[in-house]
Structure 1
Amino acid sequence: MTVTEPTGRRERKKLRTREALISSAFELFARKGFEATTVEEIADAVDVSSRTFFRYFASKEDVALTFQEEQHAALLAALAARPADEPIMTALRRTVVGIARACEQGEQGFDPDRFQCLQSLMASSSALLASSLEHSQKKQADLTRAVADRMGLDPATDLRPHVVAATAICTMNAAADAMRAGVLGDACLAETADRAFAILDEGWDPPRA
Structure 2
Amino acid sequence: MTATAPEARSTGPGTPPPGRRERKKQRTREALIDAAFRLFAEKGFDATTVEEIADAVDVSARTFFRYFASKEDVALTFQEEQQEAVLAALAERPAGEPVMTALRRTVVAIARAAERGDLGFDPDRFRCMMTLTADSPTLLAGSLEHAQKKQHLTTLAVAARMGVDPETDLRPHVAAATVVCVFRAAADAMRCGSMGFTSMAEAVDAAFALLEEGVNFPAGPASPESG
Question: Normalising to structure 1: TM-score of the pair?
Answer: 0.92
Q: Aligned ranges for residues 98-137 of structure 1 at < 5 Å?
A: 98-137=109-148
The answer to which of 149-158 and 38-47 deviates more is: 149-158
Shift of residue 170, structure 1, vs aligned partner:
1.2
Shift of residue 142, structure 1, vs aligned partner:
1.0
Q: Which residue is 1:152 aligned to?
A: 163
Q: Which residue is 2:85 aligned to?
A: 74
Per-residue CA distance 1:148-191 (angstroms, 9 max, x = gap):
11111111111111111112321222112222332423421110
SS in 2 for 1:149: helix
Greater RCO, CA 8 A, separation 6+? 2
CA distance in 2, matches of 1:137, 1:183: 28
State which of 163, 177, 192 in structure 2 corresponds to 1:181. 192
Shift of residue 203, structure 1, vs aligned partner:
3.1
Q: Which residue is 2:206 aligned to?
A: 195
Q: Which residue is 1:55 aligned to?
A: 66
SS in 2 for 1:155: coil
The answer to which of 101-110 and 139-148 deviates more is: 139-148
Shift of residue 201, structure 1, vs aligned partner:
2.4
For the aligned residue pairs, the C-alpha RMSD in angstroms reads 2.0
SS in 1 for 2:119: coil
SS in 2 for 1:157: coil
Task: Say whether the 8 Å CA contact 2:166–2:172 is kept in structure 1.
Answer: yes
Shift of residue 79, structure 1, vs aligned partner:
0.2
Gaps of 5+ in 2: 1-15, 221-227
CA distance in 2, matches of 1:154, 1:125: 38
Q: Say if 1:150 and 1:143 are closer, same or farther in 2 by CA, change over 3 A.
A: same
State which of 20, 25, 41 in structure 2 corresponds to 1:9. 20
State which of 34, 40, 44 in structure 2 corresponds to 1:29. 40
The answer to which of 103-112 and 166-175 deviates more is: 166-175
Q: Which residue is 1:165 aligned to?
A: 176
Q: Which residue is 1:88 aligned to?
A: 99
Aligned length: 205
Shift of residue 52, structure 1, vs aligned partner:
0.5
Task: Say whether the 8 Å CA contact 1:178–1:184 is kept in structure 2.
Answer: yes
Task: Say whether the 8 Å CA contact 1:119–1:180 is kept in structure 2.
Answer: no
CA distance in 2, matches of 1:200, 1:158: 19
Q: Which has the higher helix share?
A: 1
CA distance in 1, matches of 2:115, 2:89: 17
Gaps of 5+ in 1: none
Shift of residue 207, structure 1, vs aligned partner:
11
